[in-house]
Amino acid sequence: MRLTINGTPRTYDGDPAQPLLWYLRDELQLTGTKFGCGISACGACTVHVNGAAVQACVTPMKALAGKKVTTIEGLSAAGDHPVQKAWAAANVPQCGYCQTGQMMAAAALLKETPRPTDAEIDKAMSAVLCRCGTYQRIRAAVKDAAASGMGGR
Amino acid sequence: MTTTMERRAFIGTLAKAGLVLAATSAGVRRLEAFELPHEHGPLAGEWEPSVFLRIADDGTVTVTCHRSEMGQGVRTALVMVMADELEADYATIQLDQGIGDNKYGDQNTDGSTSIRSGSYMKFRNAGAAARMMLEQAAAAEWGVDASAVAARSGTVVHAASGRSLPFARLVARARTLPVPQPVVLKQPSQFRLIGKDVPGYDLRNVLTGKAVFGQDASMPGMKYAVVLHPPVYGSKVAKYDAAAALKVKGVEKVIEIPGAPMPSAFLPLGGLAVVATSTWAAIEGRRKLVVTWGASPNDSYDSVAYRAELEASARAEGKKVRDLGDAGGALAGAARKVEAEYYAPHLAHAPMEPPAAVAKVTGDACETWTCTQNPQASRDTIAAFLKIPKEKVTVHVTLLGGGFGRKSKPDYACEAAFLSRETGAPVKVVWTREDDIQNGFPHTVSLQRLEAGLDASGKIVAWRHRIASPPISSVFAPNQEYHTDSELSLGVLDMPYEVPNVRVEVCKAPAHSRIGWYRSVSNVPQAFAISCFMDELAHAAGKDPVEFLLAALGPERVLDMTKTGTVNPVGNYGAKWEEHPNDIARHRRVLQTVAKESGWGKKLPRGEGMGVAVHRSFLTYVASVVHVKVGPKGEVTIPRVDIAMDCGYAVHPDRVRSQCEGAVIMSLSNALTSELTYKNGRTVQSNYNNYQVLRMSQAPKHTAVHLVHSGGPLGGVGEPGVPPVAPALANAIFAATGKRIRSLPVGRQLAGGPVAVPAGSR
């Protein structure tokens, strides 16, 4: 089967049940997508499939034929996506492990909902756990990214 | 490569070229570097004025961080401190992550010690000495007095003549000079980085997904392994059938890992490892293993029954650890007596990154890359487990995706080392979330019984505190069934309240799981019990809780901790009481600050309330006010949390704030949702679906951090924010509803509560 990862066409002929997470991490060495739970409970593995936020740990490869996958490594060429800039300005990360998933979730939210309300932010971002407790800064960064005209990107 | 940015660009180029890379948290290294015998030592020509500092002939400054980065910002803070005293350019400084090596002193990133106990002054002294030598070299070059020149951001300047020389031109001469005596440190008014806010050193790598954690480390030819651990502490593999597992495509071997006998300390639990060509194959293979587990003395461990056992234990007289005055007599004669029991369950650390390690064993040598808080213990434990010389074990430290105490214990690195030796290949051991929740080192479970007597004016005249809680020492030694003095020194024996008659007793509480320290350790249950009980006493006395706490703290003074009536000396987080006293003025100041900033005492709508707590831990003083709103179905929302911290001096204020923000979330997780329970010796919970931690929707709408700069001696930062928040929440719930929360988590106690942990789910 064929799919596209960060704009690069790929052919996959491995176990169709293998979750996208392990294909990204073990085969492509795209380790910015993190393993946190394996059951879509923590969101550390959030990536975009055809633009929508998806948890790679429960997305089998067989579901991805012809799909376009974007990981944190492909979110922006220079690491300057508005979400990344907002995250940097707010000094959001503590340990940083969940932050790639947080940013992918935020980027998908803002693409769909350029000016999210507090409730919409809470709802979308509650899919991604942060044990360090950076939620307050994440909220602020999402709002900053929205205000920067991220919407529609 | 002379600058960090160039280094990073270089790294990016390597990655684009498709080279397989492994990385330290200091940056990416080519894997071939694994073969180098001494990659962390100075390169030829580098000047090494300290084990923490190297300056190359081209002026490149490299700082070695010997403590582990797990979100607390140590890599940023130590670079700031060194760069400030050295007058190096923060933006171009390079950071090397130290391997486990005694030359760095204590590397255990634990106890909120990384800045406070030594490193701050060691780094300042090293930076200042090197700066003076560079200044002297420049002065000699120009034939002027050293007092006429000054280092400034990577150069030395002679202001009178306008001349300047970069460090690169001075290294050759500076290194030949004698180390200055005495080393003259900057005055705080001269600080350019310390006490200021800078972006995190690893920020850019984190935001682009390039930061390398233990789960991300790799080596060429590496195999992947997951381990099926015994479900009950002390159980071992009796027999197994690996045929189905071995049929999974990619599974190469099933290997039994020997488990250490109880108490097993840091050694592996044992079990069956599935070694495969991918993580997924290993996980799938593990699902197909058929195992019969041997019996364990902990097979019947049941949290419901154990709670009853602890209650019974704490309702009888225990072993005396503190006896001041006559608590029994004063209780009997008190005008009013109050008693309550508090329960706090086991907790799982559940860092977002489950433990992981990569190891390569060659002959009697082992090299490992792992997310560890304690590289020296990792080295020593691997050596002991493999029976190889510890000098032959090299432990590289990656970034840690959270630690909270779990990653001080290197059992997972031992597993990787063992499997590498057995397979002859590098092996990466991945702990899944289920391993992490089910087979970790849970935080202790605690039952505390408190009794106090008030006189007619509402003053506390008697206090009796019994603690039944399995000690951490039970994982290291047999017959450890009582909470220890060192654990009781985390809030109980150092309690600041002025009470003339106090008795503290420990009651029997045998452990049935591994027990490990968890962010702020026994302060979690002990601050919960004491600060909730103080609130109960305030209400019993008819006093405002803040006023009651201030009255109980008494006048500003330093407590004499040798006259508290304890059987053994009271611990002080490794510090001397003379240098880090129990200072009532600092308790009062954080309490008054948080009361003022939170608008304490303001009228709130029905169903809302504020609660308060103050607690000293890790030499730092913290007070918190939680404002809670409880809905008609018992649903809890938190409009605001205020937290005031006096850590003496904030080296990196923004990170101190973020640590406080995070401590609020972790403490609220502890209070509202998290509970690790056992049935038939096994944990009931297994993953984030049933071991619940706070999500954004449950988090406070606003957390306000108030840093109190007392100029006092440096205290810890990572842990002390945690203890007061949970009791402040419980006290707020009482203010809002009239219901006392004496058992954590809050869960469904408020009728349909905010979060429901399904009982018995797995």
ipTM of the complex: 0.98
β-bridge partners, B636? B630
pLDDT at B751: 77
B44 versus B67: which is more confidently predicted? B67
**Order of strands, sheet of B446-454, starting from the edge strand that comes earlier in the sequence:** B319-324, B502-507, B460-468, B446-454, B336-344
Half-sphere exposure of B46 (CA within 13 A, CB side): 18
Domain B214-297+355-430 has CATH 3.30.365.10: yes
Q: Which residue of B has its CA nearest to A32?
A: B209
Residues of B in contact with A123 (CB under 8 A): 697
Averaged over B302-309, what is the pLDDT? 98
Q: Is B317 helix (H, G, I), strand (E, B) or coil?
A: coil
Closest CB to B202: pick one of A96, A122, A123. A96
Residue B123 contacts residue B81 (beta carbons within 8 Å): yes
User: Is residue B2 scored above 80 in pLDDT?
Assistant: no
Q: Which site among B67, B280, B674 would you substitute to test the A interface, given the most A Cβ atoms closer than 10 Å to its Cβ?
A: B280
Q: Which residue of A has its CA nearest to B661?
A: A133
Residue B236 contacts residue B230 (beta carbons within 8 Å): yes
Q: Is B454 left (phi over 0), alpha (psi -120 to 50) or beta?
A: beta
Residue B501 neighbours by CB distance under 10 Å = 23
Cβ separation B353–A34 shorter than 8 A: yes
B118 versus B496: which is more confidently predicted? B496
User: Is residue A153 scored above 50 in pLDDT?
Assistant: no
List the one residue out of B716, B278, B721 whose CA is nearest residue B524. Answer: B721
Sequence-distant (6+) residues with CB within 8 A of B662 are A94, A132, A133, A134, B71, B721
pLDDT tens digits, B419-476 = 999 999 999 999 999 999 999 999 999 999 999 999 999 999 999 999 999 999 999 9
**What distance in Å separates the CA atoms of residue B641 and residue A135, rounded to the nearest whole number?**
13
pTM for this predicted structure: 0.94
Report residue B40's pLDDT band, with 50, 70 and 90 as the boundaries: very low
For residue B25, report the phi and psi dihedrals to the nearest 5 degrees.
Answer: -70, -15
Ordered domains of chain A (ranges, CATH): 2-75 (3.10.20.30), 82-150 (1.10.150.120)
Q: Which CATH class is domain B4-207?
A: alpha beta
Residue A151 neighbours by CB distance under 10 Å = 16
pLDDT at B45: 75
B4-18, B356-370, B458-472, B741-755: range with lowest mean pLDDT: B4-18
β-bridge partners, B427? B223, B359
**What distance in Å separates the CA atoms of residue B342 and residue B376, rounded to the nearest whole number?**
37
- What is the distance of C-alpha A13 from the center of its chain? 25
Closest CB to A93: pick one of B203, B210, B698. B203
Domain B303-347+441-737 has CATH 3.30.365.10: yes
Assess whether the region B4-207 and the region B214-297+355-430 belong to the same CATH fold: yes
pLDDT at B734: 98
Residues of B in contact with A29 (CB under 8 A): 20-21, 218
Residues of A in contact with B757 (CB under 8 A): none
Domain boundaries, chain B: 4-207, 214-297+355-430, 303-347+441-737
**Order of strands, sheet of B163-166, starting from the edge strand that comes earlier in the sequence:** B149-152, B155-158, B163-166
Mind telling me how many Å the CA of A122 is from chain B's nearest CA? 5
User: Is residue A152 scored above 50 in pLDDT?
Assistant: no
Residue B737 neighbours by CB distance under 10 Å = 18
Q: Is B382 exposed, middle or buried (0-12, 13-18, 19+ CB in 10 A)?
A: buried
Report residue B43's pLDDT band, with 50, 70 and 90 as the boundaries: low
Give percent of chain B above pLDDT 70: 93
Averaged over A71-75, what is the pLDDT? 98
Q: Give the 3-state secondary structure of chain A.
A: CEEEECCEEEECCCCCCCEHHHHHHHHCCCCCCCCCCCCCCCCCCEEEECCEEEEHHHCEHHHHCCCEEECHHHHCCCCCCHHHHHHHHCCCCCCCCCHHHHHHHHHHHHHHCCCCCHHHHHHHHCCCCCCCCCHHHHHHHHHHHHHHHHCCC
Averaged over B586-594, what is the pLDDT? 98
Report residue B41's pLDDT band, with 50, 70 and 90 as the boundaries: low
pLDDT tens digits, A23-71 = 999 999 999 999 999 999 999 999 999 999 999 999 999 999 999 999 9
pLDDT tens digits, B375-395 = 999 999 999 999 999 999 999
Closest CB to B401: pick one of A37, A95, A103. A95
Sequence-distant (6+) residues with CB within 8 A of B190 are none
For residue A43, report the phi and psi dihedrals to the nearest 5 degrees.
Answer: 75, 5
- CA dist A102 → A38, A79, A107, B69, B108 (Å): 16, 15, 9, 20, 30
pLDDT tens digits, B547-583 = 999 999 999 999 999 999 999 999 999 999 999 999 9
pLDDT tens digits, B506-518 = 999 999 999 999 9
String of DSSP letters for B354-422: --EEEEEEETTEEEEEE--S-HHHHHHHHHHHHT--GGGEEEEE-B-S--TTGGG--HHHHHHHHHHHH
Residue A109 contacts residue A120 (beta carbons within 8 Å): yes
Report residue B731's pLDDT band, with 50, 70 and 90 as the boundaries: very high
Mind telling me how many Å the CA of B80 is from chain A's nearest CA? 16
Residues of A in contact with B404 (CB under 8 A): 131
Q: Which residue of A has its CA nearest to B69?
A: A95
Sequence-ordered alpha helix ranges (H) in B427-521: 433-438, 485-488
**What distance in Å separates the CA atoms of residue B319 and residue B341, rounded to the nearest whole number?**
18
Which helix H or strand E contains B341, and what residues bound it? Answer: strand B336-344
Q: Which amino acid is at B552?
A: A
For residue B338, report the phi and psi dihedrals to the nearest 5 degrees.
Answer: -130, 140
User: Is residue B38 scored above 60 in pLDDT?
Assistant: no
pLDDT at A151: 47
Q: What is the mean pLDDT of chain B?
A: 93
Cβ separation A91–B200 shorter than 8 A: yes
Q: Is B54 helix (H, G, I), strand (E, B) or coil?
A: strand
Q: Is B304 helix (H, G, I), strand (E, B) or coil?
A: helix
List the one residue out of B199, B205, B214, B210 whose CA is nearest residue B73. Answer: B199
Cβ separation A34–B210 shorter than 8 A: no
User: Is residue B21 scored above 70 in pLDDT?
Assistant: no
Cβ separation B213–A122 shorter than 8 A: no
**What distance in Å separates the CA atoms of residue B611 and residue B625, rounded to the nearest whole number?**
5
Residue B263 contacts residue B476 (beta carbons within 8 Å): yes
Report residue B33's pLDDT band, with 50, 70 and 90 as the boundaries: very low
pLDDT tens digits, B198-222 = 999 999 999 999 999 999 999 999 9
Mind telling me how many Å the CA of B339 is from chain A's nearest CA? 34
pLDDT at A150: 63
Closest CB to B199: pick one of A72, A91, A123. A91
β-bridge partners, B320? B505
Report residue B758's pLDDT band, with 50, 70 and 90 as the boundaries: very low
Q: What angle do CA A110, A116, A121 make, to 5 degrees?
A: 90
Half-sphere exposure of B272 (CA within 13 A, CB side): 24
Which helix H or strand E contains B137, and what residues bound it? Answer: helix B119-142
Joined tokens for residue B755: 């979060």
pLDDT at B752: 52
Averaged over B171-193, what is the pLDDT? 96
Q: Which site among B207, B372, B638 would you substitute to test the A interface, given the most A Cβ atoms closer than 10 Å to its Cβ?
A: B207
String of DSSP letters for B702-756: EEEEEE-----S----TTTTSTTHHHHHHHHHHHHHS----BS--TTTTTS-S--
Q: Which amino acid is at B168?
A: A
**What distance in Å separates the CA atoms of residue B24 and residue B556, rounded to the nearest whole number?**
48
pLDDT tens digits, B75-99 = 999 999 999 999 999 989 999 999 9
User: Is residue B333 scored above 50 in pLDDT?
Assistant: yes
First-to-final CA distance of chain A: 29
Q: Which amino acid is at B226?
A: V
Q: Which site among B20, B688, B701, B725 would you substitute to test the A interface, given the most A Cβ atoms closer than 10 Å to its Cβ?
A: B688
List the one residue out of B503, B363, B398 whose CA is nearest residue B21. Answer: B398
DSSP B474: G
pLDDT tens digits, B232-268 = 999 999 999 999 999 999 999 999 999 999 999 999 9
B408 versus B757: which is more confidently predicted? B408
**Inter-chain contacts counted by CB atoms under 8 A, chains A and B:** 181
Report residue B117's pLDDT band, with 50, 70 and 90 as the boundaries: confident
**What distance in Å separates the CA atoms of residue B254 and residue B273, rounded to the nearest whole number?**
6
Cβ separation A95–B400 shorter than 8 A: yes
Q: Which site among A24, A28, A35, A102 would you substitute to test the B interface, given the most B Cβ atoms closer than 10 Å to its Cβ?
A: A35
User: Is residue B136 scored above 80 in pLDDT?
Assistant: yes
Averaged over B268-291, what is the pLDDT? 98
Residue B392 contacts residue B379 (beta carbons within 8 Å): no
- CA dist B234 → B71, B263, B434, B516, B683 (Å): 33, 8, 18, 16, 14
Mind telling me how many Å the CA of B17 is from chain A's nearest CA? 13
Q: Which site among A37, A39, A62 would you substitute to test the B interface, given the most B Cβ atoms closer than 10 Å to its Cβ?
A: A37
Averaged over A109-116, what is the pLDDT? 97
Residues of A in contact with B73 (CB under 8 A): 94
Cis bond upstream, residue B263 (ω within 30): yes
Cβ separation B402–A131 shorter than 8 A: yes
